[in-house]
Amino acid sequence: MKKRVVTAFLCMALAAGLTACGTGKGENTASSPSADTSSDAAAASQDEGTEESHINMALFTYIEGLDPAEGWGGWNLTRCGVGETLITVNEDMEFEGQLADEWEQLDDVTYRVHIRQGVKFSNGTELTPEIVKASLERSIEQNSRGGALKLASIEVDGENLIFTTEEPFSAFIANLTEPMYCIIDTTADLEEAASKPVCTGPYMVTEYVSEEKIELAVNENYWGDIPSIETITALNIGSDTKTEAILAGDIDLAQGASNTTLSQLEGVDDIELATVTGTRESDIVFNCAEGSKLSDVKLRQALSYATDREVVAEVAGNGYAQPLGTAFPDTVGYDSDKVTGQSYDPDKAAELLKEAGYEDTDGNGFVEKDGQELVITISLSSSSSTAVSEALQDLWQTAGVHTEIEMLENVKDKRDSGDFDVIFDGWQTVNAGDGQYYLASRWQTGGTDNYGKYSSEEFDAVMKKLDEAFDQEERVEAFVEAQQILADDCPCLWLYANDNITLINTEKVNNVTMFPIDYYLVTPEWSAGK
């Protein structure tokens, strides 16, 4: 079989706030594990003389911990087919019932959700509304992102849960799909939740080795079709080495391989390169805090006009990224084409720099203000693309802005401290099948991930409007309005949208579904071999 490229595009079908029914079943990287580790993980066990069906894989990113109530542990659970939420998002970006099979909105703040019957956890414990309630309350209380649900109460009503929000919140149903709301058995030993949580998905965790691997086995108590692949090992492999690892046979499937390595697949049989237009974006965040040089909107706009996004996307994507000038990729479905941003215009950049008080008075090629040269430092993690930062450096220095690059082992401490000019970053824009959380957490005043300290009363007012926009047309209009405010104020420079890339050894695994949202991967439909 020849290598082929599969491309799929998003079909956004959001139904937040409307009565709905369904049935259905803000990167840490590390080097490739040793050959011995890979060999051990690949070894097939024998059961009654029959070779066990086993594959090795590499996740989009390997996150420490498996507890959905802690950090981003839930992402591991959904990617591995271990954890399930009440409602999920399918490959067509539609909401679909998982542990809930029916739901409806009763009024502006009240929702009834019916818990699927006949479901058991991997340990045999029956799924009940009481356990679901306890699991959700635990995640809300312990996870820093738990407040995003704006939940006032959860009550058990027979086979249903009654959710009441603190105020009208039209993205409530969408936000229930976030992996931090994976349901775990709260009657089990919660001290093991970080290494061996008890969940309801088609697979269960049999072993977790920090920074190394997650061992998975079929959950024989699964409520849906039992998978044919019996065991899976998820290995901690960095994006730059995933292509090499699948070619070497160390892994059979790789999610999120670096696009700069894909040329190695030319002419290779039985390795399918599958892509889907993704919902992630890559950007740089400006420090907008009072007293920062970048609190000046004219300077931020100047840097945006000085950025040729076509060049940056080509450098970054190697054919697997699209230039991005607004908060959402066009494919997400929020009418981003109606938003006017800053396109590449060096003359406009120079004009705005002058209006901000920056000129090259000494003729050295760099602008200064009040006798002090303007220096902008781009801070980035050592795992991020240096080529992108270097492209920005060249573009900005051509515009007369002295630009330096600061490589950090972990950029988190820098951004949390607020001691930065510009930070290279990237986000999942519709982490819950809806973009409201992304906008609110990053740009609303006091947002949990608003480390650039951007604040706009006008933007906050639109976010309030979005809360109450239960009609989908009104909702899209509010998203356009929010995007335009951000484009004008430029607290962030959106650079490009990323394709999701999955490499598949078709000799070992087939029937792989490509999801636009990259924290879904393993499904029970996967099959072994051709």
pLDDT of residue 46: 37
Please compute the mean of the pLDDT values over residues 146-167 and round it to a whole number. 96
Please compute the mean of the pLDDT values over residues 500-506 and round it to a whole number. 95
Residue (of 291, 303, 301, 292) closest to 421 by Cα position:
292
pLDDT of residue 52: 77
pLDDT of residue 260: 85
- According to DSSP, the residues that pair with 359 across neighbouring strands are 368
Angle between helices 472-489 and 457-467 (to 10 degrees): 160
By DSSP bridging, strand 160-165 and strand 151-157 are antiparallel
Please compute the mean of the pLDDT values over residues 185-199 and round it to a whole number. 97
CATH 3.10.105.10 location in the chain: 278-498
pLDDT of residue 331: 75
Four-residue CA torsion sign, 490, 463, 88, 124: positive
What does the pLDDT look like over 509-524, one tens digit per residue?
A: 999 999 999 989 999 9
Check residues 403 and 2 and name the one with the higher pLDDT: 403
pLDDT band at 24 (very low <50, low <70, confident <90, very high): very low
Tell me the percentage of the chain whose pLDDT exceeds 90. 77
By DSSP bridging, strand 422-428 and strand 271-286 are antiparallel
Specify the range with the lowest mean pLDDT, choosing from 126-140, 239-253, 374-388. Answer: 374-388
pLDDT of residue 383: 64
pLDDT of residue 33: 33
Q: Which amino acid is at 406?
A: E
CATH 3.40.190.10 location in the chain: 5-25+28-35+53-270+506-528
Two structure tokens written together for 230: 């019996």
Nearest-angstrom CA–CA distance, 86 and 116: 9
pLDDT of residue 530: 66
Nearest-angstrom CA–CA distance, 198 and 131: 12
Question: What is the residue-wise DSSP string for 163-211?
Answer: EEESS--TTHHHHTTSGGG----TTS-GGGTTTS----SSEEEEEEETT
pLDDT of residue 6: 35
**Average of per-residue pLDDT values in the chain:** 89
Whether 56 has a pLDDT exceeding 50, the answer reads: yes
Pick the CATH number of 5-25+28-35+53-270+506-528 from 3.40.50.2020, 2.40.50.140, 3.40.190.10, 3.30.465.10: 3.40.190.10
pLDDT band at 51 (very low <50, low <70, confident <90, very high): low
Nearest-angstrom CA–CA distance, 138 and 349: 49
Whether 15 has a pLDDT exceeding 50, the answer reads: no
pLDDT of residue 333: 82
- 300 DSSP assignment: H
- 225 DSSP assignment: P
Check residues 321 and 127 and name the one with the higher pLDDT: 127
Q: What is the pTM of this model?
A: 0.82
Other CB atoms within a 10 A radius of the CB of residue 409 amount to 9
pLDDT of residue 382: 66
Whether 22 has a pLDDT exceeding 90, the answer reads: no
H/E element holding 264?
A: none
Please compute the mean of the pLDDT values over residues 455-479 and round it to a whole number. 95
H/E element holding 308?
A: none
Please compute the mean of the pLDDT values over residues 70-95 and round it to a whole number. 95
What does the pLDDT look like over 116-126, one tens digit per residue?
A: 999 999 999 99
Cα 198 to the center of its chain, rounded Å: 24
Measured in residues, the chain has a length of 530
Please compute the mean of the pLDDT values over residues 234-263 and round it to a whole number. 95
What does the pLDDT look like over 90-106, one tens digit per residue?
A: 998 899 999 999 999 99
Check residues 134 and 497 and name the one with the higher pLDDT: 134
pLDDT of residue 142: 96
How many alpha carbons lie under 13 Å from residue 238 in its C-beta half-sphere?
14
User: Between vectors from CA 16 to CA 284 and to CA 448, what angle results, nearest 5°?
Assistant: 35
Which residues touch 228 (CB under 8 Å, ≥6 apart)? 53, 526, 527, 528
pLDDT of residue 44: 40
- Domain 278-498: state its class: alpha beta
Specify the range with the lowest mean pLDDT, choosing from 29-43, 148-162, 304-318. Answer: 29-43
Specify the range with the lowest mean pLDDT, choosing from 45-49, 237-241, 467-471, 485-489. Answer: 45-49
Nearest-angstrom CA–CA distance, 151 and 111: 11
Nearest-angstrom CA–CA distance, 28 and 63: 7
pLDDT of residue 10: 34
What does the pLDDT look like over 367-426, one tens digit per residue?
A: 999 999 999 999 998 666 788 999 999 999 999 999 999 999 888 888 889 999 999 998
The backbone torsions φ and ψ at residue 242, rounded to the nearest 5 degrees and listed phi first, read: -70, -40
Whether 59 contacts 79, CB under 8 Å: yes
Exposure string of 327-350, with b = 16+ CB inside 10 Å and e = fewer, is bbbbbbbbebeebebbebeeebbb
For residues 187, 190, 196, 201, the Cα torsion angle rounded to the nearest 10 degrees is 40
Residue (of 227, 202, 175) closest to 80 by Cα position:
202
Nearest-angstrom CA–CA distance, 252 and 502: 11
pLDDT of residue 159: 98
Nearest-angstrom CA–CA distance, 15 and 148: 18
H/E element holding 19?
A: none
pLDDT of residue 259: 87
Radius of gyration of the chain (CA): 24
pLDDT of residue 25: 34
